[in-house]
Amino acid sequence: MSKIIRQKIAVTYDFPVAFTRNALAPDNETLAGIFPPGASGPHRLAVAVDSGVVGAFPGLMRDIEAYFTRHPVARLAAPVLTVPGGERCKADLSAYQAVLDLIFEARLCRQSYLLVVGGGAVLDAAGFAAATAHRGVRLIRMPSTALGQNDAGVGVKNAVNYFGRKNFLGSFAPPFAVVNDFALLDGLPENERRAGLAEAVKIALIKDKVFFDELFAHRAALNAFEQAPFERSIERCAELHLEHIATGGDPFEFGSSRPLDFGHWSAHAMEEATSGALGHGCAVAVGVALDSVYSRLAGLLPEADLTRILAILPDLGFAPWHPALETLDMEASIESFREHLGGRLFLSMLTGIGSRVEINDVDFGLMRRAAAMLRERFS
Amino acid sequence: MSKIIRQKIAVTYDFPVAFTRNALAPDNETLAGIFPPGASGPHRLAVAVDSGVVGAFPGLMRDIEAYFTRHPVARLAAPVLTVPGGERCKADLSAYQAVLDLIFEARLCRQSYLLVVGGGAVLDAAGFAAATAHRGVRLIRMPSTALGQNDAGVGVKNAVNYFGRKNFLGSFAPPFAVVNDFALLDGLPENERRAGLAEAVKIALIKDKVFFDELFAHRAALNAFEQAPFERSIERCAELHLEHIATGGDPFEFGSSRPLDFGHWSAHAMEEATSGALGHGCAVAVGVALDSVYSRLAGLLPEADLTRILAILPDLGFAPWHPALETLDMEASIESFREHLGGRLFLSMLTGIGSRVEINDVDFGLMRRAAAMLRERFS
């Protein structure tokens, strides 16, 4: 009665993620090296910069112009655009549209470049514009936050909020390149640098015991943001993130399992409940603590491992408990997380440091006991 | 000085493209068969329908509801949305936003379904909404035009216009499934059915001599839209299109070469110049004739092959020449086409029926002679 053709398509991406310091210094070839030789002169380039980065580095705009004068692999096809930094730039479509305007005015084509220097929110909004203008212009991300460099900025997603819902609109769109410039992190307030450590602990817990041991051994130095161990933590966390996307079998998240979201169901809910007063890093630390205790109570995680987890968090400056945990509607938060993933609930729980298992049902009695244990010990 | 990780990602897609008749008839299992067994009851489904299709098939909305009552693999999570059909639905963001509203109201997640029944423009606007809501909900396309069924509707692109530019915003997003229902074509005016034949000739010319021979042999029957050869032409054209995307090596068009756009540089320009009065199919026929004559004048295409090409077009009801060709700014049109592709110019020219070569430069003197030849013979 009907004929069916099965269409199979494979799309491959291959992009560099560079780690450097002072990427815009005249002699640093890293950024210039990303542009392939142009067939007919310099490539067209537009640049969008986070207002927060401009505030911290007032010479940045001049450095960008000077860099591409010195390295004429690409030429600025429009003045550098400043995008208001922070979550507000994702709250409506204005930043998205401003970057579309930039792309249009610079007459970028699918083989031209948009360089974005900024925090996660600016990368998200500008990245969505880059992904949808001409069905995708080439995006070079230069993340300016610890979380950007070790997590969101090396990933394959972008988004803006819509209908008041976080990340309602967006796409999966691997960048053309990522340049992580450690010098940009020097301009950050301490709490934003610390946020990177929460993601490092999280990914070590689900993926890599050796990395956790390293973080544990250097926790005092990390808490003081000593340069070498801090940069190493950024780099290794980014590497594990990249590895997960490349080898996890589901880079564009067609399924429901998302191990990288370990500890995030309650973190997201607490961030929302506190209207962002509890920052992402601090919320993730509480979420990681909660699901670690749950893993222990469920008989999955050895006591000795839990002890180390509940030791490293405070030593890195994180409170493993927060009042928002008291008022958390756990059932609704889990359901909202499931809806966000789509399909069936998958939650990662720990079976050891560096190893995990996925569960499909939550024992809410146990989860409340986990929260109570944290309050008792850390409130 | 800097460390570079190369991130390699492979994303695979595998979706069915079905050819059937009366897809919504109670006993037709094709559409129902697309939904995987639900873990927890019927899947959530929202439906958007082209106003033109509703006009031609007033019972359609009722049929859709009845179908999913009879086949409870999915349930309508919101009332069926009617989207104004034709190019106007891509002219601004209103149809895109209406479909986002639908997705939001129906509380679709990434593993829920949006079924879109309509022409290319509605599929484009609704497809862009499906691709960007939650970074992609599952899209089932049911193209209602000949071009939709044999070309655009089986592809991997969507778009809306922005800044007054055709397809400025969009994405590459393979559908979850395509159901080509031949019965929908019965409701079309003749010129819209004919448009499908232009694309069939085009793809036969660049890909498949056997298919061209078949079209040539049945040209009288095709011109009369006899059911069997017409449906066969739709199916084979779709198949060649799918094959090109799957095996052409560049499904998401990262490069500049687009053989499927044979004859399209002048077709696009003439459509724009006539504000759409010259329809896409008729414009493609002229564009194909023009580049075929150019191929001959450039010494690439044998005379006997050109003779058959210039014979089949009128026999299928197409004029191989149009006054818009007289006033065409060829240099500007080629440059606009190059900009649209991005990077270097690639144009396909014929070296025979079913075989092509790519050129990077146009001899405009020769191109003007080709246009003059067509005028002389067909004006």
Burial of A14 (0-12, 13-18, 19+ CB in 10 A): exposed
Instruction: Give the tens place of pLDDT for each residue, B283-341.
Output: 999 999 999 999 999 999 999 999 999 999 999 999 999 999 999 999 999 998 888 77
Nearest CA in chain B to A242: B7
CB contact under 8 A, B342 and A159: no
The answer to which of A45-54, A93-102, A113-122, A257-266 has the lowest mean pLDDT is A257-266
Which residues from B are below 8 Å from A18, CB to CB? 2-5
Mean pLDDT value across residues A127-133: 98
Q: Average pLDDT over chain A, rounded to whole? A: 96
Q: Give yes or no for residue A1 having a pLDDT over 70.
A: no
Q: Does A22 touch chain B (CB under 8 A)?
A: no
Which residues from A are below 8 Å from B160, CB to CB? none
Which of 87-106 (B) contact A at CB < 8 A?
100, 104
**Residue B41 — very low, low, confident or very high, per pLDDT cuts 50/70/90?**
confident
Reported ipTM: the value is 0.95
CB contact under 8 A, B5 and A156: no
Which residues from B are below 8 Å from A102, CB to CB? none
Contact A142, A115 (CB under 8 A): yes
Å between A105 CA and nearest CA of chain B: 10
The answer to which of A195-209, A282-296, B248-262 has the lowest mean pLDDT is B248-262
**Residue B180 — very low, low, confident or very high, per pLDDT cuts 50/70/90?**
very high
**Residue among B4, B28, B157 whose CB faces A135 most closely:** B157
Q: Which of A1, A135, A254 is most worth mutating to test chain B (most B CB atoms within 10 A of its CB)?
A: A135
pLDDT of residue B1: 67
Which of 199-258 (A) contact B at CB < 8 A?
235, 238-239, 242, 245-246, 251-254, 256
Q: Average pLDDT over chain B, rounded to whole? A: 96
Which residues from B are below 8 Å from A32, CB to CB? none
Q: Which of B9, B176, B178 is most worth mutating to test chain A (most A CB atoms within 10 A of its CB)?
A: B9
**Residue A352 — very low, low, confident or very high, per pLDDT cuts 50/70/90?**
very high
Mean pLDDT value across residues B239-267: 94
User: How many A×B Cβ pairs under 8 Å?
Assistant: 213
Which of 106-135 (A) contact B at CB < 8 A?
107, 109-112, 131-135
**Can you give the three-state secondary structure of chain B, one letter per residue?**
CCEEEEEEEEEEEEEEEEEECCCCCCCCCCCHHHCCCCCCCCEEEEEEEEHHHHHHCCCHHHHHHHHHHHCCCEEECCCCEEECCCCHHHHCCHHHHHHHHHHHHCCCCCCCEEEEEECHHHHHHHHHHHHHECCCCEEEEEECCHHHHHCHHHCCEEEEEECCEEEEEEEECCCCEEEEEHHHHCCCCHHHHHHHHHHHHHHHHHHCHHHHHHHHHCHHHHHCCCHHHHHHHHHHHHHHHHHHHHHCCCCCCCCCCCHHHCCHHHHHHHHHHCCCCCCHHHHHHHHHHHHHHHHHHCCCCCHHHHHHHHHHHHHCCCCCCCHHHCCCCHHHHHHHHHHHHCCCCCEEEEEECCEEEEECCCCHHHHHHHHHHHHHHHC
Q: Does A10 touch chain B (CB under 8 A)?
A: yes
pLDDT of residue A41: 82
Q: Does B36 touch chain A (CB under 8 A)?
A: no
pLDDT of residue B256: 85
Rounded-to-integer distance, Cα B106 and Cα B358, Å: 47
Which residues from B are below 8 Å from A30, CB to CB? 1-2, 4
Domains (ranges, CATH) in chain B?
A: 17-187 (3.40.50.1970), 196-378 (1.20.1090.10)
Which of 258-297 (B) contact A at CB < 8 A?
none
Query: What's this model's pTM, rounded to 2 decimal places?
Result: 0.96
**Side-chain half-sphere CA neighbours of A310 within 13 A:** 21
Q: Does B183 touch chain A (CB under 8 A)?
A: no
Which residues from A are below 8 Å from B157, CB to CB? 135
The answer to which of A37-46, A69-78, A120-129, B301-310 has the lowest mean pLDDT is A37-46
